[in-house]
Structure 1
Amino acid sequence: MPSSPLSPPVRAFFLVNEGLAFLLEVLALGLLAWWGFTRDIGRVGSIALAVAAPLAAAVLWGLFAAPKARFTVPLAAQLGVKAVVYGAAALALLALGQRSWALWFTAVVLVNTVLATYYRTRS
């Protein structure tokens, strides 16, 4: 939450945007799992990839990009991790043949991340 007081409508918008950020994070993990499961590398291989891809993204996110990340890194590094995870999810959608959904996902992620970053860094 920003340190400066927010008016009730701005506070409500901030909280809705934070909720959307969480949903986008979970969606990104789900998209990576879906992509991994659909790879034609054998049953065991696709199940392993369906587990490994979102697990790797979640570990990366938890270490560097989460609000209570294990390591404190500069804002640019946090945004870089988010770009890698969200970019992988968008590419997963493209690989699944979902071009329009990939574009929508990317657009929503960009707007959400810009707004969240603005409100979180506001003094």
Structure 2
Amino acid sequence: MLIMIAAFGLELAVYAAAGYWGFTCSRRWPVRVLAGVGAPVLFALVWGWFGAPTATYPVQGLGRVALEVLWFGGGAAALWLRGRRTLAVAFVAVYLVTTGAQLL
């Protein structure tokens, strides 16, 4: 149960990381607002289409693995690009632990 809660928290953290990246990616406020709102929306659309339990086009097998690596890797990359390298590494570590624990 605790692993499932951590995995869900990590999914939410992807949205937060994407928003953080967007709102800090430029000095110009229109770009920040567009990227800060647009990046999490884009992540939500992709997850809703392919990754959610009620996904429109659910992927399985290697497609699911690729989706999760890109999804959670995108969250880590957003943190890394904004200079939060320790947080990005911790993000990847938590992903690996929760994914490994779910396989057991």
The answer as to whether partners of 1:65 and 1:79 remain within 8 angstroms in 2 is no
Q: How many residues align?
A: 104
* TM-score, length basis structure 2: 0.90
Structure 1, gaps ≥5 residues long: 1-14
Mapping 1:44-59, distance limit 5 Å: 44-59=30-45
| CA contact 1:35–1:95 (8 Å) conserved in 2 | yes
**Identical residues among aligned pairs (%):** 31
Deviation at 1:41, TM superposition (A): 5.2
2:70 to 72, 76, 84: 84
Secondary structure of the equivalent of 2:58? coil
Provide the residue aligned with 2:46 in structure 1: 60
Q: In 1, distance between residues paired with 2:68 and 2:19? A: 17
Partner of 1:99: 85
**Structure 1 Cα separation of the partners of residues 90 and 40 of structure 2:** 20
Over aligned residues, Cα RMSD in angstroms? 1.4
What residue ranges of structure 2 are gaps of 5+ in the alignment? Answer: none
TM-score (norm 1): 0.77
